[in-house]
Amino acid sequence: MAAGKRDFGNIRKLSSGRYQARYTGPDGGEYKAPSTFRLKGDAEAWLVDRRREIDRELWSPPASSAQIRQTKANQTTFREYAESWLKFRTVKGRPLAAKTVFDYEDILRLHIYPTFGEQKLRDIDMDTVDRWYADLCPDAPTMRARTYSLLKTILKTAHERDRLIAENPCLIAGAGAAQRTKKIRVATIPEIEIIMGEMPAELMAMILFGTWCTLRYSECIELRRKDVDIDDAVVYVRRHAVRGRGGWNCGLTKTDAGIRDVEIPPHILPALRVHLDFIEDDPETRWFPPATDDPCGTERWLQPSTFYRHYYRARNKAERPDLAFHDLRHTGATMAAHTGATIAELMARLGHSTPQAAMHYQHVAQGRGRQIADAMSKLAGA
């Protein structure tokens, strides 16, 4: 690094090739320019301006970065910060999925903004959060946990990354996690067959993809003809479509792990071939096009109301009114675990980025207490 001596201030060239300027103020303190300069002349001009301020007695110590952050925290409301957080939030370099943004906006609007929206960040303390949490969604434990977790995450960013608050006031242990209140009962093979038999012919494949390929509803309705290779028995999951307040949003799957190739079980291939008779012979044709001509923005997808009108009737015929479409995915995951699939294999098939859910399916598949006990008795008898 090279340094240049001057009557006032100092300029040095950094290893990056840019120039840093600094000077000693009337109070004896050393002050640096808030940023470096591409040209040495720009650094010199900045020092000339500081010297003029001192000569005219207009100079005052510049605010430190800590003071600037404190001023920002004193002025910024939680609503302002949360809206900015939601706009620029990323997960592993990718922006939040559209459905996640819609969900977070609803949670903020309904449960967080009424209490914290107009409060300054600096004024949100532990006692305020504790009192708010005490009355939060008492009859909806899952929503209560999600709401607390969202508030905690936003304030964590304000504390750890932006350093706008001295500490995160969300300190209630376990408040961001909810125990599953609904125990999912997976479907049996006969129940799946009944449901398929009751669905319109052009929608039967939705049941197959949801169960045997563990696809989500949002992934099924965005499948194009080019995404399913019948000959090689693979479905290529690349995109999904979700509907929010602003209409439909189509894009990449929620996470990188959601982009995956799912091997199709051979026994459902004949039914998938039959389904091709219902759609146009075009690579971009959707497997499940909309049932009406009503446009949804510039693109159209199968309306959930259209599908569920048939699905609810079909599941009632199977005497499974509790079986949500997403439960078919649980069913397929559990059957895959029964085959001996490893956690990594389940994660790849389901499109999960963490092993927790895959471990759950393995545990379900391994929950064969009666068979194990009987086998132990046979050993004892032998």
What residue segments make up the domains of the chain, in order of their start? 2-55, 73-160, 189-366
- Give percent above pLDDT 70 in the chain: 79
Model confidence at 366: pLDDT above 60:
no
Model confidence at 243: pLDDT above 80:
no
How far apart are alpha carbons 3 and 151 in whole angstroms? 48
Read off the pLDDT band of 28 (50, 70, 90).
Answer: confident
How far apart are alpha carbons 286 and 223 in whole angstroms? 6
Tell me, what's the pLDDT at 301? 83
Model confidence at 7: pLDDT above 50:
yes
**Rounded mean pLDDT of the chain?**
82
CA-based R_g, the chain, Å: 30
Model confidence at 312: pLDDT above 90:
yes
Q: Closest Cα partner for 362 from 382, 339, 329?
A: 339
Helix (H/G/I), strand (E/B), else coil: 166: coil
pLDDT tens string 154-209: 999 998 888 888 899 999 988 887 665 567 788 999 999 999 999 999 999 999 99
Q: What are the catalytic residues?
A: 216, 326, 329, 352, 361
Asked if 335 contacts 327 with a C-beta cutoff of 8 angstroms, the reply is no
Tell me, what's the pLDDT at 348? 77
Helix (H/G/I), strand (E/B), else coil: 379: helix
Model confidence at 254: pLDDT above 80:
no
- Its pTM surpasses 0.95: no
Parallel, antiparallel, or unpaired for β 2-5 and 10-13? antiparallel
Model confidence at 335: pLDDT above 90:
no
Class of domain 189-366: mainly alpha
How far apart are alpha carbons 311 and 209 in whole angstroms? 14
Model confidence at 44: pLDDT above 50:
yes
Tell me, what's the pLDDT at 92? 59
Q: Closest Cα partner for 216 from 177, 259, 246, 170?
A: 259
Please state the φ and ψ torsions of residue 92, each to the nearest 5 degrees. 55, 40
Instruction: Give how far Cα 108 sits from Cα of 85, 91, 101, 159, 345, Å.
Output: 12, 19, 10, 19, 36
Mean pLDDT of the region 38-67: 84
Q: Closest Cα partner for 327 from 182, 142, 184?
A: 184
Tell me, what's the pLDDT at 16? 86
Read off the pLDDT band of 302 (50, 70, 90).
Answer: confident
- Give percent above pLDDT 90 in the chain: 39
Tell me, what's the pLDDT at 296? 45
Asked whether this chain's domains 73-160 and 189-366 adopt the same fold, the reply is no
| Topology, domain 73-160 | DNA polymerase; domain 1 (1.10.150)
Mean pLDDT of the region 22-51: 89
Read off the pLDDT band of 133 (50, 70, 90).
Answer: very high
Number of residues in the chain: 382
Q: Which residues does residue 244 pair with via DSSP β-bridges, in sequence order?
A: 247
Tell me, what's the pLDDT at 118? 93
Read off the pLDDT band of 128 (50, 70, 90).
Answer: very high
- What is the separation of C-alpha 193 from the centre of its chain, rounded to a whole number of angstroms? 33
Mean pLDDT of the region 127-141: 92
User: What is the per-residue DSSP string for 46-71?
Assistant: HHHHHHHHHHTT---PPPPHHHHHHH
